[in-house]
Amino acid sequence: MTLIKKSPIEILNKIFGYKNFRPAQEEIINHILKGKDALVLMPTGGGKSLCYQIPSICLEGVGVVISPLIALMQDQVIALREAGVSAEFLNSSLDFNEEEEIIKKLLNNELDLMYVSPERLNNENFKNILKRTKISLFAIDEAHCVSQWGHDFRPEYTKFRFLKELFPTTPRIALTATADDETREDIIKNLDMDNCRIFISSFDRPNIRYSVQIKDKEKKQLLDFIKNEHISDSGIVYCISRKRVEDIAEFLKKEGFKVLPYHAGLSSKERELNQDKFLKEDGIIMVATIAFGMGIDKPDVRFVAHLDLPKSMESYYQETGRAGRDGLASDAWMVYGLKDIVQLNKFINQSGASDEQKKIEKRKLNLLIGYCETTGCRRKAILEYFKEKYTKDACNNCDNCLNPPLTYDATIDAQKVLSCIYRIQNERFNFGAGHVIDILEGKRSEKVLKFNHDKLSTFAIGKDNSPHQWNSIIRQLVILGYIRVDSEYMTLSITKEAIKILRSEEKVNLRKYILQPKIEKEKEIKKDYTFDNNDTQLFNKLKQLRLEFAKAENMPPYIIFHDKTLTEMVIKKPSTMEDMKDITGVGERKLQKYGEAFLKAINE
């Protein structure tokens, strides 16, 4: 491999418009430039793409990037072309003549970067084309798809071992935002990258505020959150099923929001149109299943809301990471309940996975539930999951730090619940949480009277707590392993571990959700900047100008300039083209193309 004249820092400055590398980027780039393999773990929005884009531009030949999503490829190629980089993609959206033209450019060494789908890379004809091409590197994006333990396993990714066989001296860089130890080992093994160096950047996203609540009229909870925090912002709302996506999308539409649905039940054309609209317009909320989002480059998603529990910490981290990719203040907000836990366990039990994989999936789900129930700093819990030490006691940007929860010795309450379940469980009948709570509350419901449960010693012994409070206690006892829930009928029974509680051999502390009124701190809203009225008008004017360019060129506005770049323009108010060069995100090509128009808008 022969380096071209431009250095990585020169490319970063002149093409991408950034003055300095982010942590680890320069070290990774220099490692690749030496012809060595790398596995890169870097959070969403942390600058992974530059780690392969810059070496591809530095080196002779073309950098081949394997990406699982057509939308991501197209976005990145458009953005690269805007910056003056020669880039193309090959996927199913192209016709025969377009493909032939691109392959011709590839063979003539006219490209810096070529994006391809996993299916295309595995195609024998394309392999033969690659053998005749001068290749600078292979980048495997979303590398967690290689691993069966990853949260988005894709079988076609497991065939990439041939890269080592056919191109033994060409460096490979595998990149992902999330991978635990098992997933990392699987990636290295399946890609035959035994001698690669692992780079782990910080998983911290300090601009994201994490909040978790218990489901209690979740539609109203979601509505209050959006109205109070993100009234005109772009956001993503994740739901567990297609039906739920449609229901929530319809609900938010009726409340006056610009909303689009996204799930596998829609035609590919509908999904494509909705995604395109979400990327190109401001203030749209996408209500979606997890089918939506991988590789979405939209930097100004201000919130990601989960109305249902994800299946693991990796999934949660990947999905919440789609908020605030531009580094500006954003929210990761979630509600969950006992039914979520039962439903996800049911999915695992009914899947065709091996017993070993089911065991791992259940462990991962339990770790996520532990995160939901933690009384400590949520950021610290996330980072510790990914084996990163967080030295602060509090981040002051999660719900637990801003409003510390209370815990109490709940042994007596636990004994009441467990004793009640023990007395009513038998071989013929088991009962759900609602019936248990009716007994504890002393309600003579039809079912309570039918089974003579008003005669039990546990009848009416729980009047000091509300039904909602008892629900919270039961849910926590399920999570702690003292109560078992039947996944089909939602009925309760006690476990062997519960006997120690009943015999007072063990104490249990639980989190107080609403067991006593909590003094709310005044909510601290994290802001990146404060505009006066004139600056707000200027910011909106620049956004409108950006939108006009974007519509004229049929591309998302953020490809022209990020909100962060516009914000810097408003704060610094450049008056000359030389001043404009110093704005982050303004490279040489963009300066020539848009500089005069934005200067005029600012100076007016």
CATH code of 474's domain:
1.10.10.10
pLDDT higher than 60, residue 518: no
Distance, in Å, from the CA atom of 257 to the CA atom of 455, rounded to the nearest integer, reads 52
38-41 and 62-66 as β-strands: parallel, antiparallel, unpaired?
A: unpaired
pLDDT value of position 294: 63
What total of structural domains would you count in the chain?
4
Instruction: Please state, in angstroms and as integers, the Cα–Cα distance from residue 42 to each residue in 282, 294, 302, 341, 448, following that order.
Output: 27, 15, 20, 29, 55
Boundary (domain end) residue, out of 161, 184, 200: 200
Instruction: Please state, in angstroms and as integers, the Cα–Cα distance from residue 15 to each residue in 327, 381, 440, 591, following that order.
Output: 20, 38, 68, 10
pLDDT value of position 386: 86
Do 506 and 543 share a domain, yes or no? no
330-336 and 301-306 as β-strands: parallel, antiparallel, unpaired?
A: parallel
Q: pLDDT tens, 389-408? A: 888 889 999 999 999 888 88
Of the candidate ranges 199-208, 221-230, 290-299, 350-359, the one whose mean pLDDT is the lowest: 290-299
pLDDT-derived band of residue 387, with 50, 70 and 90 as boundaries?
A: confident
pLDDT higher than 70, residue 524: no
Asked if the structure places residue 226 within a domain, the reply is: yes
Cα Rg of the chain (Å, integer): 27
pLDDT value of position 546: 94
Do 236 and 344 share a domain, yes or no? yes
Q: Which residue has the higher pLDDT, 68 or 421?
A: 421
> Residue 454, Cα to own-chain centre: how many angstroms?
48
pLDDT-derived band of residue 242, with 50, 70 and 90 as boundaries?
A: very high
Do 542 and 435 share a domain, yes or no? no
Do 150 and 267 share a domain, yes or no? no
pLDDT value of position 151: 56
pLDDT value of position 5: 53
Asked if the structure places residue 81 within a domain, the reply is: yes
Asked if the structure places residue 524 within a domain, the reply is: no
Do 416 and 376 share a domain, yes or no? no
Which residues span the domain enclosing 416?
Answer: 407-512
Q: Which residue has the higher pLDDT, 170 or 5?
A: 170
Q: pLDDT tens, 535-565? A: 889 999 999 999 999 999 998 999 999 999 9
Domain containing residue 167: CATH number: 3.40.50.300
pLDDT value of position 346: 86
pLDDT value of position 1: 47
Spatial contact of 7 and 30, defined as CB atoms under 8 Å apart: no
pLDDT-derived band of residue 519, with 50, 70 and 90 as boundaries?
A: very low
pLDDT higher than 70, residue 97: yes
Distance, in Å, from the CA atom of 290 to the CA atom of 262, rounded to the nearest integer, reads 9
Query: Which amino acid is it at 139?
Result: A
Classify the phi-psi angles of 346: left when phi > 0, otherwise alpha if psi is within -120 to 50, otherwise beta: alpha
483-485 and 406-409 as β-strands: parallel, antiparallel, unpaired?
A: unpaired
pLDDT value of position 180: 75
Query: Which amino acid is it at 483?
Result: I
SS3 285: strand
Asked if the structure places residue 423 within a domain, the reply is: yes
Spatial contact of 451 and 429, defined as CB atoms under 8 Å apart: yes
Q: pLDDT tens, 322-380? A: 999 888 899 999 999 888 888 888 888 888 888 888 888 888 888 898 899 888 899 99
Mean pLDDT of the residues in the chain: 88
pLDDT value of position 149: 58
pLDDT-derived band of residue 504, with 50, 70 and 90 as boundaries?
A: very high
- Least Cα distance to 27 among 173, 141, 182 occurs for 173
Asked if the structure places residue 422 within a domain, the reply is: yes
pLDDT-derived band of residue 525, with 50, 70 and 90 as boundaries?
A: very low
Kindly report the backbone phi and psi dihedral angles of residue 524, in degrees, each rounded to the nearest multiple of 5, phi listed first.
-95, 115
pLDDT value of position 171: 95
Do 49 and 196 share a domain, yes or no? yes
Residue-by-residue DSSP string for 369-390: HHHHH-SS-HHHHHHHHTT---
Asked if the structure places residue 528 within a domain, the reply is: no
- Least Cα distance to 302 among 318, 284, 317, 290 occurs for 284
pLDDT mean over 226-232: 93
Boundary (domain end) residue, out of 200, 222, 257: 200
Structure tokens given for 211:
């909040």
Residue-by-residue DSSP string for 449-486: HHTTGGGSTTTTTTTTS-HHHHHHHHHHHHHTTSEEE-
Do 385 and 432 share a domain, yes or no? no
pLDDT mean over 152-161: 80
Do 593 and 568 share a domain, yes or no? yes
Structure tokens given for 107:
């063979």
Burial of 389 (0-12, 13-18, 19+ CB in 10 A): exposed
pLDDT higher than 50, residue 521: no
Do 216 and 263 share a domain, yes or no? yes
pLDDT-derived band of residue 143, with 50, 70 and 90 as boundaries?
A: confident
Instruction: Please state, in angstroms and as integers, the Cα–Cα distance from residue 126 to each residue in 69, 121, 138, following that order.
Output: 18, 6, 14
pLDDT-derived band of residue 515, with 50, 70 and 90 as boundaries?
A: very low
Distance, in Å, from the CA atom of 11 to the CA atom of 513, rounded to the nearest integer, reads 53
Boundary (domain end) residue, out of 178, 200, 222: 200
Query: Which amino acid is it at 117?
Result: S
- Least Cα distance to 304 among 397, 211, 202, 400 occurs for 211
DSSP letter at 508 equals -
Query: Which amino acid is it at 591?
Result: L
Percent above pLDDT 90 for the chain: 59
Asked if the structure places residue 539 within a domain, the reply is: yes
Residue with tokens 């032939």: 100
Asked if the structure places residue 522 within a domain, the reply is: no
Do 349 and 483 share a domain, yes or no? no
